[in-house]
Structures are given as structure tokens and as C-alpha cells.
Structure 1
Amino acid sequence: MMNAAIAFCSLKLQQLAWTCIFFSIQSCAAKILEKTFQDWMRYRDECYKKMANSPYPTGLYCNRTFDMYACWPDGTPGATINVSCPFYLPWFEKCNMALVSRKCGHNGHWVMVNGSQPWRDCSQCEDEMEVTIEEEGTWKLMVGFRVLYTVGYSLSLLSLLSALLILIIFRKLRCTRNYIHANLFSSFGLRAASVIVKDALVMKRWGMEMTQVSDWETLLSSEAAIGCRVAQVVMQYCILANHYWFLVEAVYLYKLLIGAVFSEKNYYTCYLYLGWGTPVVFVVPWMAAKYLKENAECWALNENMAYWWIIRIPILLASLINLVILMRILKVILSKLRANQKGYADYKLRLAKATLTLIPLFGIHEVVFIFATDEQTTGILRYIKVFFTLFLSSFQGFLVAVLYCFANKEVKSELKKKWQLWKLDHPALCCTR
């Protein structure tokens, strides 16, 4: 029979896991479970040792036993046997004076329920299993956040795939600028997919219901965490790549606006290294630090913040550079407008307008919360930070696809031409009376 501590973890683990996911410490539920199970195994071993060293009574009696919950001594027929609540319970300090009871039948067998399950009164040990109103409210809020960013990432993924398909199919749209857009779309799409997959793996690992001790032993083994860790590494890489492709967009626009002679072919390879290569420089050391120093669960718990800053610093650096470039671009555009240079390429200004709507959206929320880390923020500020971070991060891919593809005049013109050609080739379908 599954012991009550494991039952407690099974009932509350989904709430804990989802609550912790949004605060970037999703292993908090895992730590509770792991410590509970380790204490349970120690309690079990001590019980077996105690039973082996105790002398056996004479006559009729109920056999000493460990029923997966508590350690029971030999019982006198017809008596109620009381023992202290097991010390492995997460709330043991609040009920260490309480008792759990079993009845020894007159026939020398423990009283059973339904002929197979032992009868046991452990109500005094289970008072703390009740979920408080505050915990319930927090869990509901986190579920709402989960729905928000799941919808956002799903919508972004669909729109980004559609935008990528358009840029790939139409040859007239193939140029360095759109190649950079396509890489940006890919980074956003990979980020969305990695977050969705990572969440699915986390909940598969911690959200399932366990009924056997062997299930928990398998769950807590290092082999079971490999898939979750791989997903965590891929997600961190995709997030960094996403940030640095936005930096590429900003750098490209800046050079386009201020460069007298701009050789696109010479720089595109550098952009590829910056967008896809730079994240490797930071993810590999972070992965090594987690493996050597914090090799626990899904590598999501940041016990030593120095390791987390290996990922955090390059993200903030990219955001700050984006904001600096934004200021410079604004200065260039304002100077051009003041000078009223009519010969200045109109497509450059349109491109600048589109990018200017994206760079602030990308960089500001990172800079605003630069010193308000997850571990430092509490209360309403933490919920505000989580909401804006999740909302902007999840829906940003959709906005990028709309502004850089679907709302682009060049793309719309090409789609319109293809639609007109299709109607001419299929007059029977389009011209029915």
C-alpha cells in the first residue's frame, strides 16, 4: 500500500510543480519529494533493523510489521496499538506528539479493510495535508499563467511556421534581409517548441500518479532525469539564440541606415555565427557547471546563482545593446527627417519603423527587471514580473511574424500576385456565378 507521505506528494506535486515552473525553480516540488522519499527509506530500514533485534513474545499475538506507512511492534490480541507519527512526513514537526493507530484482532491478525488493506487511523498525522486558501489561490493563478503562455507560444509557433513557409516558397522574397528574418523566425519557433516540450516532460515526470514504491525509486533515479535535462539545455540554447537573432536584426538595421557602402554577403556569415554560435559559448559552460556542481533533477533549481548568471548575463547584455542601438537609430531617423532628405530610401524607413516597434518590446522588460530576479521579488511584484515576462515572451513570436511578414508590403504584394495568377489558372473555381 502506498504510504501517506507519498500520497501527499502525489496529490500536491502537480500544484507545486506548476507553481514553481513560473518562478524558475521548478525543482522545489522535486526536492520535497526527494527528501520525503529518502527519509521514508531511512525510516523503513530502521524499522526492519528494530524488528530483527527485538525478542518475540510467546502465545498469540499480531506480528510486528512495516505496512509501508509506520513501524508496528507485536500487538496484543483485542488491543489498539499506538505509535508515533513517522518522522519522514514533511510536516512531522507540527505533529510529532500525535499518534497513529492499528487494531490487533482477537485471532492474532491485524484488522483489515476489504480483506486486503490494513485498517489504520492516521488522522492525527494527516492534518497538514489540507491545502490552504492562499495555496489554492496561488495554484489557480499559476494555472491561468500556464494557459496564457501555452496559447501564446502555440499561436506564435503556427504563425512563425506560416511566415517561414512564405519566405521559403517565394523566390522574389529571397534576400539577406529576409534570410535574417527567417533565422529570427526559426529562433522564435524553436524557443516556443522547446518551452512546450520542456513543460510536457516536466509534467510527465512530476505530474503522474505513483502507486508503488518502485515507481518512486525509478522516478528519482538519475536516468529518469536525462530527458528532462536535455530539454532544459535545449530550451536555454533556444532562448539565447532568440535574443541574439534579435540583436542581429538590430545590428543589420543600424548598418543599413548609417552605412554608405554596405556589403551584405560579407556580413551574413558573421550574423550566422552571432545568432547561432554565441549561445553555445554560454550554454556549454552552464551545462558543465550544472553537471559538476548542481547535478540534480531537471537542472532547473538555481541553488548557486553564479551558475544562473552564466545564462542571465548574455541575455541582459544583448538587451542592453539593443536599447543602445535603438537610441542610435532614433537619432539617425530624426536627423534624416529634420534634414528632409527626400532621396533617402523609403524602404529603409519602413524597415526602421517595423524594427523600432520590436526592439523596445524585446528589450525593455528585460532591462526593467534586470535587478528584480525571481529570487529577490516577492508578493505582487513577483506576479507582475511573471505576467509581463510570460505574456511578452510567448506572444512576441506572433508579433514578429505579423510585422516582419504578414504586414510587410513586399510580402503582401507577392501574395496578391500569386493569388491573381492562381485565379487566372482556375477560372472555374473563382468565377462561378
Structure 2
Amino acid sequence: MVSHLPETDFRSCVVHKPCMEDWNATIPMFDWSFLSQEQCEQYYNNITYPGGDAWCNATWDGILCWPPTPRDTEVPLSCPPGKGIDPNKYAYRKCSSDGQWEGRRGREKEGGWSNYNDCFLPTIKDLMDKLYAKSDEDAQMKLHVAEVSRIMEMVGLSISLATVLLSLFIFTYFRSLRNNRTKIHRNLFVAMKIQLLIRLTLYIDQYITRQDVKETQRGIDNTPVVCEGFYVLLEYARTAMFLWMFIEGMYLHNMVTLSVFHDKPNYRIYYLIGWGLPVVMTAVWAAVTAFNYTNTACWWGYNLSPYFWILEGPRLTVIFTNLLFLLNIMRVLITKLQASVSSESLQVKKAVRAAIVLLPLLGITNSLQMIPSPLDRNIFEFAAWSYATTFLTAFQGFFIALIYCFLNNEVRATIRKSWDNYNSQRCIEENRRHSLASFQMYRITAGKRGSQVDCNGSMIQDVQIDAV
């Protein structure tokens, strides 16, 4: 029969040192603050063991330092603080009857096995169970797919940020592009820019801090309050992006379907919906999450909790509403095309093209993120889901900027006109400088032949410069 050694009994021996002959004050006192097996062994090195029983030696499993434990005993230690971990729960490790740490499922294993199952929050534990449902090898392959997806996401977010910033500059710089439609575009791009900047900042911070094995470097990811604040701002920007997508869809729907919609849009209402409503929604979600995630570092796993539907519910409503807008716009477009002399194939082609253009803008691709990850399926299904979802969501900013800015005929015509004006002005300046140089040359070399040069530096004609 296995006995359970209460943690407080053994720890009191260590903390109050009744059985310690020497004490090294430089050794950490928390079970999770050790960095090596040597530190762990040194910490318990001078304990006097009762005779007659076999004991499992002190061991460090990479996370916790487990104390020397008598045989047939299961020792508990408090779960280490971390994301997705409940520090009020316990991890367990069992010493077998022969004084060796017991492996998983009762099998002998070098170094033994630590049971951290109870440490995980229920949502995280459910993910872990799905991840390791088949085999350890299958789980490792899925983790590799997740790493590749993260790299793809970083690349996509960086490209999206660059194109969104360039689009914002174009829509702001050229006065001819400052109309009602592009004004909505600019607000959508601002919300996207904020979201992309925060997400990239968090990813870069996580990469830097996780390279520090000793965890001596502080960053956003491991700083209380600051970390939660970044995620609150991230979710606010995401919610604002969804609502500006809704405004885009509503404005486009009214322009296409309502013949009476010719007045100037009420931007006060638009700003209230696009920037004000997300404040209320995010504040409610943050308050509920803070109340229920008091013991979880940085609210880790909050997107898996039911409280996240305070935000996801309205976002899903926006997606379905924009889908209805899209279907009705398609109906109107097809009706108008049928009234024309276009062939049936051309009608379908135009309708499909319109749908492809609208899909990224109206946020329907974001619905893929709301589908639960198929962790319990085979590696091919999981990889297909992971890569497709990551590509469409990470590059969404790029596609929207491409379709509504870089490929827009009005934008291209404006940029081309500006470029032509710049070249014309440059030509005038060059010809002016050339005329001045010719006049000076005339004064020096009167009676000789000179040349005039066009803006490209080519000789266009010879002129006779005669003295008066």
C-alpha cells in the first residue's frame, strides 16, 4: 500500500532545518527556482535520513526539485507558477518499493516521471489530452506544425503591417482619395495597424524572454499587469477591426442596394460603433476575466474560456451579418447583370470576382479561427487546418491593402498622375537649369554650337549660339 507524504511535514524539516547540518543561503528556497540537478542535490545534501528504509534520491526534473522520499511514497509539491497552471494544485512523484523513482504508468524509467496533470487548468488539460491522444510521436509532429505555423504567422503579420502602413499613407497623403469610402478604409486600417503592432510586439517579446533559460530577463510576457494590459488592448483592437468591417459591409450594401442612400454618412454614428462600442465590450470582458483568472499568469488560455464569448459572440454576429450583406449584394449584382446584354458566363465571372474581392474585407475568413483546432485528428488534417487558418488570417491585412489600395484603379490613377506631375516638374527644373547654363556658355563661347537636353539627359537638338 502506498502512503502519501504530506508536503508540509517534509518541507518543515527543510525550512526550519531541524535535520540540516549545514545551510547554504544562496540556494533557492522554492522548488521551482532550481536550475540544475547539482543545485537540487546540494540543497538536500546534508539531510540525515532515518535508517532501515530505501529512499529515492533528490532529483530535478527540469521544473521542480523533488526531495528525498522514502519508498512506497507519493510526494506532492505545489505546482510552479506559470501560464495555464493553477498554483493551488499539486504535482506528484512516486518512489517505488525498491527506492527508485517510478516512471509513467508504473514502468521504471531513468530519473522517474513527474505527474503534472492536476496542475493544468481544465481548458489546457483538455488540449493536452487531445494532443497526446494518439502517441508521443504524433504530438511532437503536431507541435512542429505549430512552430512552422508561428513562423508563417510572423512573416504574414510583418508583410500585412508594412502594406497597411503604406496604404494608410497613400489614403492620407493624396487629397483626391479623401472621400467617404476611403475614410472608412482608413479607420479599418488603423484598427488593423494597432492589432498587428501589438501582436508582433508580444510575439517578439515571447521569443526573446523564452530564450533566457534562467528567466532572469523580464519582458511583457512575464510582467504582471503590463502583460494583461497588452492583451486587453489587443482584444480591443481586434473588436474594433471587426466592427469597422461591419461598417464597411453596411456602407457597401447600402450603396449597392439602396437607391436613396446618397447623403453623406453620419460619421458620429460610425465612430461610436467602430471605436466606442469596443470599449464597452472589452471592459466587460476584461472585468469578468480578471475576476476569474486571479491565479493565472497573464490570463493564459483566456481565449479557451467560455468568458471569451463576450467578445467572440459579437464578432461572430458581425461575420454572419456581413455574409448576409454579401449574399444580398451578389443578388443585386446578378440581377443587374441579367438585365444587361452580357452572356451568362460573364455574369457568373463578375459575380464570383465581386465575392472574392469582398470576402477578405468583410472578415469571413476570421470564422476559421473560431473552429476548434483538430488536435485529436491525424497529423495531415491538423496541418491542413493550421496552415490554412494561419495563412488566411496572418495575410488578411496584405490582401485587403492589395485589393482596396494597390489594385484600386482610382488609387493607381492618382499615384500615376502624381508621378507624372513630379516628372514634369523635374523636367521644367532641369530645362531651366540647362537654359541658364546655355546662357552662360553663350557668353563664354559665342558663335559656337550648343545642345539642349531633354529631362532624360538625351540631346534633342543642336542650336546655333551666335554673338549678337
TM bucket normalised to smaller: 0.5 to 0.7
Return the alpha-carbon distance in structure 2 between the equivalents of residues 74 and 153 of structure 1: 58
Please state how far the C-alpha of 1:189 moved relative to its aligned partner. Answer: 1.7
Instruction: Provide the residue aligned with 2:17 in structure 1.
Output: 51
Deviating more after overlay: 351-360 vs 175-184: 351-360
Instruction: Provide the residue aligned with 2:421 in structure 1.
Output: 421
The answer to whether the aligner puts 1:431 opposite 2:456 as a matched pair is yes
Instruction: Provide the residue aligned with 2:175 in structure 1.
Output: 171
**Kept after mapping to 2: 8 A contact 1:250/1:359:** no
Instruction: Provide the residue aligned with 1:261 in structure 2.
Output: 260
Match of 2:322, SS state, is: helix
Return the alpha-carbon distance in structure 2 between the equivalents of residues 162 and 43 of structure 1: 64
Instruction: Provide the residue aligned with 2:83 in structure 1.
Output: none
- 1:34-73 correspondence runs (5 A): 45-49=11-15, 51-52=17-18, 54=19, 63=22, 68-70=39-41, 71-72=44-45, 73=47
Instruction: Provide the residue aligned with 1:188 in structure 2.
Output: 192
Please state how far the C-alpha of 1:140 moved relative to its aligned partner. Answer: 2.6
- 1:70-149 correspondence runs (5 A): 70=41, 71-72=44-45, 73-74=47-48, 83=57, 85=59, 86=66, 87=75, 88=77, 93=93, 99=100, 124-125=110-111, 133-149=137-153
Deviating more after overlay: 355-364 vs 179-188: 355-364
Return the alpha-carbon distance in structure 2 between the equivalents of residues 430 and 270 of structure 1: 51
TM-score between the two structures when normalised by the length of structure 2 = 0.63
Identity of aligned residues (%): 23
The answer to whether the aligner puts 1:229 opposite 2:228 as a matched pair is yes
Are the structure 2 counterparts of residues 238 and 293 from structure 1 closer, same or farther at C-alpha, using a change threshold of 3 Å? same
Match of 1:225, SS state, is: coil
**Kept after mapping to 1: 8 A contact 2:244/2:274:** yes
The answer to whether the aligner puts 1:244 opposite 2:243 as a matched pair is yes
Instruction: Provide the residue aligned with 2:359 in structure 1.
Output: 359
Are the structure 2 counterparts of residues 411 and 368 from structure 1 closer, same or farther at C-alpha, using a change threshold of 3 Å? closer
Partner amino acid for 2:258?
Answer: G
Match of 1:232, SS state, is: helix
Return the alpha-carbon distance in structure 1 between the equivalents of residues 9 and 239 of structure 2: 45
Return the alpha-carbon distance in structure 1 between the equivalents of residues 303 and 409 of structure 2: 49
Return the alpha-carbon distance in structure 2 between the equivalents of residues 266 and 243 of structure 1: 19
Return the alpha-carbon distance in structure 2 between the equivalents of residues 44 and 432 of structure 1: 89
Deviating more after overlay: 400-409 vs 330-339: 330-339
Return the alpha-carbon distance in structure 1 between the equivalents of residues 141 and 297 of structure 2: 27
Return the alpha-carbon distance in structure 2 between the equivalents of residues 268 and 253 of structure 1: 15
Return the alpha-carbon distance in structure 1 between the equivalents of residues 257 and 233 of structure 2: 36
- The total of aligned residue pairs comes to 346
Instruction: Provide the residue aligned with 2:35 in structure 1.
Output: none
Return the alpha-carbon distance in structure 1 between the equivalents of residues 293 and 269 of structure 2: 34
Return the alpha-carbon distance in structure 1 between the equivalents of residues 78 and 222 of structure 2: 26
Are the structure 2 counterparts of residues 84 and 170 from structure 1 closer, same or farther at C-alpha, using a change threshold of 3 Å? closer
Return the alpha-carbon distance in structure 1 between the equivalents of residues 10 and 276 of structure 2: 51
Are the structure 2 counterparts of residues 172 and 277 from structure 1 closer, same or farther at C-alpha, using a change threshold of 3 Å? same
Instruction: Provide the residue aligned with 1:161 in structure 2.
Output: 165
TM-score between the two structures when normalised by the length of structure 1 = 0.68
Return the alpha-carbon distance in structure 2 between the equivalents of residues 248 and 159 of structure 1: 21
Return the alpha-carbon distance in structure 1 between the equivalents of residues 323 and 96 of structure 2: 57
Are the structure 2 counterparts of residues 260 and 63 from structure 1 closer, same or farther at C-alpha, using a change threshold of 3 Å? closer
Please state how far the C-alpha of 1:280 moved relative to its aligned partner. Answer: 1.8
Are the structure 2 counterparts of residues 42 and 403 from structure 1 closer, same or farther at C-alpha, using a change threshold of 3 Å? farther
Match of 1:125, SS state, is: coil
Instruction: Provide the residue aligned with 2:439 in structure 1.
Output: none
Deviating more after overlay: 152-161 vs 235-244: 235-244
Instruction: Provide the residue aligned with 1:117 in structure 2.
Output: none
Are the structure 2 counterparts of residues 240 and 407 from structure 1 closer, same or farther at C-alpha, using a change threshold of 3 Å? same
What does the per-residue CA deviation read over 1:108-148, in whole Å, with 9 as the maximum and x for residues that have no partner? xxxxxxxxxxxxxxx9426789x964454333322211110
Return the alpha-carbon distance in structure 2 between the equivalents of residues 82 and 360 of structure 1: 60
Match of 2:57, SS state, is: strand
Instruction: Provide the residue aligned with 1:281 in structure 2.
Output: 280
- 1:393-412 correspondence runs (5 A): 393-412=393-412
Return the alpha-carbon distance in structure 2 between the equivalents of residues 315 and 322 of structure 1: 11
What does the per-residue CA deviation read over 1:249-298, in whole Å, with 9 as the maximum and x for residues that have no partner? 11000110122232553422222222222222221111001111113212
Match of 2:412, SS state, is: helix
RMSD (CA atoms): 4.0
Return the alpha-carbon distance in structure 2 between the equivalents of residues 368 and 81 of structure 1: 53
Please state how far the C-alpha of 1:74 moved relative to its aligned partner. Answer: 3.8
Please state how far the C-alpha of 1:389 moved relative to its aligned partner. Answer: 2.3
**Kept after mapping to 1: 8 A contact 2:246/2:362:** no
Task: Give the structure with the higher percent helix.
Answer: 1
**Kept after mapping to 1: 8 A contact 2:142/2:383:** no
Are the structure 2 counterparts of residues 330 and 360 from structure 1 closer, same or farther at C-alpha, using a change threshold of 3 Å? farther
Partner amino acid for 1:227?
Answer: V
Answer 1 or 2: higher relative contact order, Cα 8 Å, separation at least 6. Answer: 1
Are the structure 2 counterparts of residues 304 and 332 from structure 1 closer, same or farther at C-alpha, using a change threshold of 3 Å? closer
Deviating more after overlay: 259-268 vs 180-189: 259-268
**Kept after mapping to 2: 8 A contact 1:95/1:125:** no
- 1:283-322 correspondence runs (5 A): 283-295=282-294, 296-302=296-302, 305-322=305-322
Deviating more after overlay: 317-326 vs 350-359: 350-359
Are the structure 2 counterparts of residues 382 and 281 from structure 1 closer, same or farther at C-alpha, using a change threshold of 3 Å? farther
Are the structure 2 counterparts of residues 96 and 203 from structure 1 closer, same or farther at C-alpha, using a change threshold of 3 Å? farther
Return the alpha-carbon distance in structure 1 between the equivalents of residues 9 and 424 of structure 2: 80
| Equivalent of residue 156 in structure 2, options 140, 152, 155 | 152
